[in-house]
Amino acid sequence: MEKQTSNGPRQLPTVTLKKKKYYVDERLGQLRNVDNPHNFIDFLRLYRKKPFVLLGTYQNRMNIEIVAMSDDSENLESIRAAILELNSILEGKDRDFSNPQVVRLIENKLSEIDIVDDATEFVYEIDVIGIFKMEPLSC
């Protein structure tokens, strides 16, 4: 998948996620941000666990992260819908874990998601990028 340039090292292919370009580094099993190589997604580890992933960025964090994984894309779609509902509840309000509506939503629909900071009980908004099916790359 890598292209050999005539005068130098191979050029890695790129993909675009949420208006950011990433190199596809098959050797490391990662998507690495073109502008910031410390910003990466470990897709090889993902594929070995579950075939479907929900990717997003947590409030106050830079990297695209795995929000959830599943064998079933419909399960991730219901998680995505619950995240969007939670974001609308949190919009412009206190972000602590005391709102009964927030508590119910997290306990009933988002219990498997790391969405609450344990130390501060701050509830994060998540900017959902999408649901992706992980497939092995052909070399």
Number of domain units in the chain:
1
Residue 1 is assigned to a structural domain of this protein: no
Residue 4 pLDDT exceeds 60: no
pLDDT for 47: 56
- Determine the 3-state secondary structure of 6 from DSSP: coil
Residue 114 is assigned to a structural domain of this protein: yes
- As a three-state string, the secondary structure of 65-122 is EEEEEECCHHHHHHHHHHHHHHHHHHCCCCCECCCHHHHHHHHHHCCCCCCECCCCCE
pLDDT digits (tens, 9 = 90+) for 78-104: 999 999 999 888 886 767 677 888 888
pTM of the model: 0.65
What domain range includes position 82? 6-133
Q: Please return the burial class of 97, using the count of CB atoms within 10 Å of its CB with bins 0-12, 13-18 and 19+.
A: middle
pLDDT for 83: 93
Residue 12 pLDDT exceeds 50: yes
